[in-house]
Structure 1
């Protein structure tokens, strides 16, 4: 059989893959924007490649900076660059409990054990090894996100926000819920005030759409069309310049400097 005939029999995905070059796990797909600067860095420690890729891509879509490793040895080398570790306990080289103990011995990086080991004893051992939370496979992705956020709140309590935020001519009084521009009162709705306050409390930080929906509308999951865009447009008009709120395409919004 000639080479042309063999090519026709080969799957397309195999025809263009060089057999000597291993295929790396991709962290970002070509049509997917990278995480915003300052995004939470998540290390996924998972031996099963398909599960790791699926989880990493899901986290990237939620605005996290995620990457994966497949062994305990690599996890012990890479956890220093992570803000949170999702650790499978069934790894090919080291037991996950030992990896957890190794991480905890040298750092306070939060660890969530994500494993098929579901007995009460397994949970107890996982928590005693130093994990901050324990999830049994199969699990819901939304529950995982909620547990990640809960762990990070415990590890890094929300800082006290000043009662009055001043940003150039813009002044936001949290106690009275009044906003002024150059001393003139700006009439804002409740959600407009909450949205502006959230952006102004973290100047220079890009806040994702999911975070805005979660903190302003208390709903991180449903798709409310152009709810955020409508409120941003109204705020820009009331503040007198579109430069007050900057849209970072594909990521979220930040407070600007008109």
Structure 2
């Protein structure tokens, strides 16, 4: 008889005990195992001792702030991060996404919404590899099954969302997408702050464009959104003669 999978582990990091208690309660009712930390150093210690499947991370923390913790978590491995930020602090939210957070929720927030965001991120990270051939375009090669991406300079270090966004663009070369369409297709949400899409496109450009300030692969379609303009951006099953595969 097959044993049921172990519950996914979430590390909740917030210096407010009430927030930790409420968030933990909702996550546990949703079937997660929850660990706690009340400052930045404690979060890193707990994450190292028992690596979580996801971290819910407050931006404002004693010891080390959430941005520093997120950077160090990212340096150690690809653990997904959902960041908690103060309402109206748009610059902080954007900075959080730029250092590698997969998503953010603004305070005060609905615990149910937070659980939905956590489940959404974990679905992406824990989804079985997508079937299908490698995707190519603009000198980029994406392998959906292995979840690897390479460019002219070698392997690309992409977050979960950056990988999914690039794969989506490569599957639809030449098509212009609105930010709403990208949020629905890549994030799986029909609601949310569209600056999330803007920031991820910006981060992705820094990793795939020769000159991110003058992008030629992921271009802006004014009044619409974004389009992948790399030549030959179609899927195939084999490499061109002499081409090295990842």
TM tier relative to shorter chain:
0.3 to 0.5
Taking structure 1 as the reference length, the TM-score comes to 0.46
Higher relative contact order (CA 8 A, sep 6+): 2
Taking structure 2 as the reference length, the TM-score comes to 0.48
